[in-house]
Structure 1
Amino acid sequence: MDLMTCVINRQILGFAFVNNSRINGITSLNSKVGHFDFFFVHHFNVSDVTITAPGDSPNTDGIKFGFSSNIHISNTLIGTRHDCIATLSGNTNMDISNVKCGPGHGLSVGSLGKNQDEKDVTDLTFRDIHNRWYSNQDLGISASKIIVSDFVLENIQMINGVSHVQIQDLKLKNIYGTSMNKVVVNLQCSKSIPWKNVELININIEHNGVDDGPSTAV
């Protein structure tokens, strides 16, 4: 391990410029702020980790990554009310599998496109994910304004969720479950940069909210 930093009032653990390391079999409980932050981290494995925070926590994101590569997250439980796993600028080659998220905002890519020096996000795979949302929150899997390419979501279960996706080069495969909103897939395309290579395969999300009628996509 090259360096590990712990920054007070930002997260429980912050990892910066760390290579060839791992976290295994630990629990992060009731953080006052975010739990784990990763910045310029490469070849890092996270497995068998539990991250929890109360349902009324103000901003307790589970795991955040920026400018990192070759990240593997597996067999992990994250329930923090806010983002389960947030993939920020400059990440590449991330494989996230067998993760239970929620209650919370689920998986996110971004926010992106706010700053001039942001980098593209490439080669992301989310598979075998169980997402449970709060019914009054409007977040899911999202990204905007800079290129996110080679992005695969496969075998995703949603419970009372809604998915908002702004992304280029996208495959959504085997996503199923329930949604409190009628619009269960909302693909918000850029007016200036058309979408390319978008595949939706085996999407089956049932509307179970208060509005009448079946689920729809926009």
Structure 2
Amino acid sequence: MEFSFVNNSRINGITLLNSKMGYFNFFSVHHFNITDITITAPGDSPNTDGIKFGFCSNINISKTHIGTGDDCIAILSGTTNMGISNCKLKDCELIPFKIRGKNKEEKNVNGLTVRDIVFNGTSDDIRIKTWESSASKILVSNFVYENIQMINVGNPIIIDQKYCPYPPCEKKGESHVQIQDLKLKNIYGTSTNKVAVNLQCSKSFPCKKVELIDINLEHKGVEAGPSTAVCENVDGSARGKMVPQHCLT
């Protein structure tokens, strides 16, 4: 289902099952509410994005269940002021920021609030990825993640600014996407990957004002040892309970 250039509308009470590709695609949609939606596909199904947004604003998603083989919710270029709350996500990835900086016409992404979410058996949960050797200079700012439960997830918290899966991307430069004002509060549960907090930011545009508050992510994978954190080119602060021990400077 695709919505383009739609304003002041809503959808609710819809169930979508076993799509061969993506489910919902939103482009240039503003002031839109999504509630009580169920999206289901096998966990190994490829390219079955649940909900995808580009150049949208003032979007609210609540009381929604998504389980697919790809992205639960993908937020692309030019999207601002989005709220996601009281949702349950399984098997898929929540990628709140998937803008790659790959194309010069891509725009800033600002204002995302994710609260009261349960991830169960997902692969990459709080994930921000940007294209290595990016063509555009973009600002990603004012993101808040709060009260997030992780149940046996792969990578609970990850920033990947070296994302380079295929040409024209080349592994020879730094991302020009600036990430700043990122707040992670009360993130708890279990990680199957020993590196539970992985913040790999751009050397040219280091992440700024990253705030960690009450993080409690225990390692429950096959590899021995407690959970760990990795930080590259990131500036921020931490307070409250910290499992794993933070590596911010």
TM-score, with length taken from structure 1: 0.89
Distance 1:66 1:52 in 2: 22
Q: Which amino acid aligns with 1:191?
A: K
SS at match of 1:119: coil
Structure 1 unmatched runs, 5+: 1-12
- Residues 52 and 79, structure 1, Cα contact 8 Å, conserved in 2: yes
Shift of 1:194: 2.1
Q: Deviations over 1:88-118 (max 9, x none)?
A: 1100000110111111123331042111111
The runs of 4+ residues in structure 1 deviating greater than 3 Å are 137-140
Which residue number in structure 1 is paired with residue 37 of structure 2?
Answer: 49
- Residues 64 and 87, structure 1, Cα contact 8 Å, conserved in 2: yes
- Map residues 18-33 of structure 1 onto 2, 5 A cutoff: 18-33=6-21
Q: Deviations over 1:10-69 (max 9, x none)?
A: xxx010000000001110111111000000000000001101012231211100000000
Which residue number in structure 1 is paired with residue 112 of structure 2?
Answer: 124
Distance 1:202 1:32 in 2: 39
Q: Which amino acid aligns with 1:79?
A: G
Query: Which structure has the highest strand share of the two?
Result: 2
- Residues 106 and 133, structure 1, Cα contact 8 Å, conserved in 2: no
- Residues 104 and 132, structure 1, Cα contact 8 Å, conserved in 2: no
1:93 aligns with 2:81: yes
Structure 1 residue corresponding to 2:139, chosen from 147, 158, 182: 147
Shift of 1:138: 5.2
Q: Deviations over 1:143-178 (max 9, x none)?
A: 326321010000111122212125322101110111
The root-mean-square deviation of aligned C-alpha atoms, in Å, is 1.4
1:160 aligns with 2:148: no
1:173 aligns with 2:161: no
Shift of 1:133: 3.2
Structure 2 unmatched runs, 5+: 132-137, 161-178, 231-249
- Residues 62 and 85, structure 1, Cα contact 8 Å, conserved in 2: yes
1:82 aligns with 2:74: no
1:204 aligns with 2:192: no
Q: Deviations over 1:69-90 (max 9, x none)?
A: 0000000000012111111110
- Residues 105 and 133, structure 1, Cα contact 8 Å, conserved in 2: no
SS at match of 1:117: coil
Distance 1:117 1:82 in 2: 25
Question: Alignment length, in residue pairs?
Answer: 204
Distance 2:4 2:64 in 1: 21
Shift of 1:186: 0.6
Q: Which amino acid aligns with 1:151?
A: F
Distance 1:200 1:138 in 2: 18
Which residue number in structure 2 is paired with residue 189 of structure 1?
Answer: 201
SS at match of 2:69: coil
